[in-house]
């Protein structure tokens, strides 16, 4: 069985994925890292050189590849992955996968992302906390429809990675 983690950037998909994989003795795969390895370019370079449409097309191809190839793996998606190119249907139709939305409140996302915005090109240009909040609010409004279709929804607010991992374990097993 694969466990697919989805949610907005900063919700903890990568760190929770690594910890969960370790606890469950499963492999861990971050889809963005996988895309970068296959394309031999960073996500930012792909966006800059080839554009978002190209990226979303490749993201869909690599998601299919991962779902067909990997088993017993924790798969952390990019924040936008479930929202494009029929990716959500791929996930929902996969009988060997359980999807988990790591739901994080707007304010918690702002608090987490504002301190690390320079490491995240999508938001690095947002110098005011209020601008970041508006940016995230708009995205959450657009993406919540997709995120909430995950089989399980786990809140990450005011919880450590270990607490979220334990809750996922309790919920799934």
Residue 63 to residue 43: CA distance in whole angstroms: 15
Residue 121 to residue 56: CA distance in whole angstroms: 17
Binding positions are 10-15, 32, 56, 79, 120, 143
Residue 2 to residue 65: CA distance in whole angstroms: 13
Binding positions for ATP are 10-15, 120
Binding positions for Mg(2+) are 14
Residue 31 to residue 12: CA distance in whole angstroms: 14
Residue 9 to residue 122: CA distance in whole angstroms: 10
Binding positions for substrate are 32, 56, 79, 143
């Amino acid at each position: 069985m694969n466990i697919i983690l989805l949610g907005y950037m900063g919700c903890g998909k990568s760190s929770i994925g690594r910890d969960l994989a370790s606890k469950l003795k499963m492999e861990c795969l971050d889809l963005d890292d996988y895309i970068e390895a296959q394309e031999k370019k960073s996500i930012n370079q792909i966006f800059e050189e080839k554009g978002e449409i190209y990226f979303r097309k490749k993201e869909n191809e690599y998601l299919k590849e991962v779902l067909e190839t990997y088993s017993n793996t924790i798969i952390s998606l990019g924040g936008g992955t479930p929202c494009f190119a029929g990716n959500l249907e791929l996930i929902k139709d996969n009988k060997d996968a359980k999807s988990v939305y790591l739901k994080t409140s707007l304010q918690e996302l702002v608090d987490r992302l504002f301190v690390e915005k320079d490491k995240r090109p999508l938001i690095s240009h947002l110098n005011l906390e209020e601008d970041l909040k508006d940016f995230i609010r708009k995205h959450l409004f657009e993406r919540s429809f997709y995120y909430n279709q995950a089989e399980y929804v786990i809140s990450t607010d005011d919880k450590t990675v270990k607490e979220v991992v334990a809750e996922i374990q309790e919920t799934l097993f």
